Structure 1
């Protein structure tokens, strides 16, 4: 069955086909070396325009704590009241987004920071369990023309996952959901998820080795057997969440690897590739 993302992806500007979408958590991006941003800038100058979607959960939690605002999670989603939403927007579209833009510009790149509410970039509706989680949204559409216009001007879009509906209501969007939707709507088949781990690992003869290729079902099986455990579970499930619409695979890589983005885009087997089938 076709989704809105599938239909939109067929009509997006052809110029976006040479772009790629990269998703990264705000805290991970902040910890990456300057060489990572040098690689981003090199790709931009080479015509392979990055489109970045970032998160920032830990920074949101820290700010809420400092402000004395209670926060809780329901099935992995932050319960988002209007008060919490104000902080989400302030942190994601404000401090984290602009920090990323500054780091790109310092290394000689050109970037524009946006939230999904700017130009109705990420259009959203309430999630099914709205009564439990508040103003958390599902993506209904992405303004691919706006992304294309920014790319045409030679700038790298840096997108904070705050959505909006036709009535002006803001929504807190899971960053992985937002990244997958952006990738699908602009018509790319592969996403790169930058983390602080080299990929999905398995013990082989007592030695941990990175698995070059796994399927979504392999991941669930490995979680069930305990081969994927602890903090790695949310990382791989977040990557799986990016696979929908046009996106057929996600590559998990360690952002500290030298020229990791260029190497992935040039076809090198690095990190773990998660395929839909």
Structure 2
């Protein structure tokens, strides 16, 4: 498990491009036959990618968590971005098609990832946060999720948002997780920008072409930076940072948050004239 320590806005003003990418961009999360995990000290989130091929992959605590098993004091949200696969929780199997979501609560010792076809493996993206009580394990298929339409063609940000784990959906301790699909011709996400000082956020960009890129904007509103992001790469956005992007072509992204607030009421929107 890779460890990423927390950062602050004063120091980040001095970062080079390489340093910015090292601190905030996860480039190689999805590798065939591997389960890769990154522990971020921003709200103690664990970000992972599991691509089981011929053998199942087990979610384990390793040495970093200092617990007997991964979900001893944690919860996890999982979205499949690949072909059909199965997540086994104890003796219970949960089949996930592409873009289906599964929440697993505190206290489950055995969690394994399986692909239905090794030639077309599942690609499980997972986000874990700390938990204080157990909520039921629950699957939400994309076909059963409620879409929220936002944006406009004129602003190049027409998009459909699926809120999987949140106050009005799958219940959790503090994890929130969802997915945003941009309409053809739309390239902008989360603009006008905002911050939420009591929770960090993580973006996974995927369903991009090999030549497609997202220019992800971050930093304090008065002094922004950008990351050039490729397919299936992840951006860690600290609580003091905006998180917004524009793509060279079509893309989809999964957003996840954990922190002090469990609703969307703490967002502080930034006026366009205040962005620098």
Give TM-score, length-normalised by structure 1: 0.28
Give TM-score, length-normalised by structure 2: 0.29
Q: As a proportion of its length, which structure holds more strand? A: 2
- Whose relative contact order is higher, 1 or 2, with alpha carbons under 8 Å and at least 6 apart? 1
Q: As a proportion of its length, which structure holds more helix? A: 1
